[in-house]
Amino acid sequence: MPSNPPLREASPMEAVALRSAAAEAPVTLRPEPARQAAPLRDGLVRRWLRLNRGQIRAVLIGLVSLALFVAAWQVLTANRVTFYVRFVNVPTPETVLERALVALRNPMFGDHVLMSCRRILFGFLLAAGVAVPLGLLMGRFRTLREIAFPVCEVLRPIPAIAWVPMAIMLWPTNEGSIVFITFLGSFFPILINTLQGMASVDPVLTRAARCLGAGERALFREVYLPASLPQIFTGLTVGMGVAWVSLIAAEMISGQFGIGYFTWEAYSLVQYADIALGMITIGVLGLVSSFAIRILGRLLMPWSAAR
């Protein structure tokens, strides 16, 4: 077997040529971690913008709409326009902003807001805790629906403000009567929408679950409740709005604290800027509470958010 030829030492001329070639060769540097992360971060940002461009567009349009509303408010009130509607005594946005800065430094205003939020929380959670199970049971069992539905339909058209005298007689404290009125305001929208959700359940799903051996509890857990959730959350959103309407009416009539009482007291003292501040606060609180319900609905119904 032939052996490998012995290695030959490079001549001085060859060594010089090799060294010059090595010096002229391009040096490849390892990219820095920051330079590697920058393209990845830019790609993630572009991907997020592409996936959420519809929501971003809606937010931008909403901001423009609010800006136009405030601008129209400023023009009408600054010029004291009187054309069917009188803007003579309506405060300007600048005046309301000044009063808002003063009110935010006053702990009494914060107490009014916290009291209203607590009443809404108690009344709304109590209404949801009663209306959702009752609606599911009424939608599932015909006899219970025939017994309870006529009573609900008779009581449902009665406005919340008409319940104020009765609530004062029923409950020993103003706090209990206000929470009760808030409960009534949100109870019926949640109940009706839960019934609609149960009526929209596909019977094929029920029969399939029965064929697979599902009992009554499994039917409620795996079929009726998931299929009714979209309608239930619609009822929760509507019920939250009606709950705020009912709460403000009750606070204006029989309350001693709360943002509704703050607004009515401002009217009694002819403080127009505080009236507008109370109205804006009510709107912001209602918007935040409804948005929280929508976020909860997306968390509990990921299949609905993906469509």
Length of the chain: 307
d(CA 99, CA 207): 61
DSSP 222: I
Per-residue pLDDT, 35: 58
Q: Considering Cα of 148, then 150, then 151, then 157, what sign does the dihedral take? A: positive
- Classify each residue of 221-241 as buried b or exposed e, where b means 16 or more C-beta atoms within 10 Å of its C-beta: eebbbebbbbbbbbbbbbbbb
DSSP 163: G
Indicate the SS3 state at residue 88: coil
Q: pLDDT tens digits, residue range 141-177?
A: 889 999 999 999 999 999 888 888 888 888 888 888 9
Domain limits, the chain: 36-83, 91-306
Provide φ and ψ at 287, rounded to 5°: -65, -45
Residue with tokens 């009750």, as numbered in its chain? 250
Lowest mean pLDDT among 160-169, 195-204, 212-221: 212-221
**Pick from 137, 153, 147, 156: which is nearest to 198 by CA?**
137
Banded model confidence at residue 28, pLDDT cuts 50, 70, 90: low
Question: Is the predicted pLDDT of residue 266 greater than 60, yes or no?
Answer: yes
- What CATH number is given for 91-306 in this structure? 1.10.3720.10
Q: Considering Cα of 264, then 269, then 270, then 276, what sign does the dihedral take? A: negative
Q: Are 112 and 258 in contact (CB under 8 A)?
A: yes
Q: What angle do CA 128, 129, 132 make, to 5 degrees?
A: 65
Q: For the chain, what is the mean pLDDT?
A: 83
Helix (H) or strand (E) holding 83: strand 82-83
pTM of structure:
0.78
Question: Is the predicted pLDDT of residue 138 greater than 60, yes or no?
Answer: yes
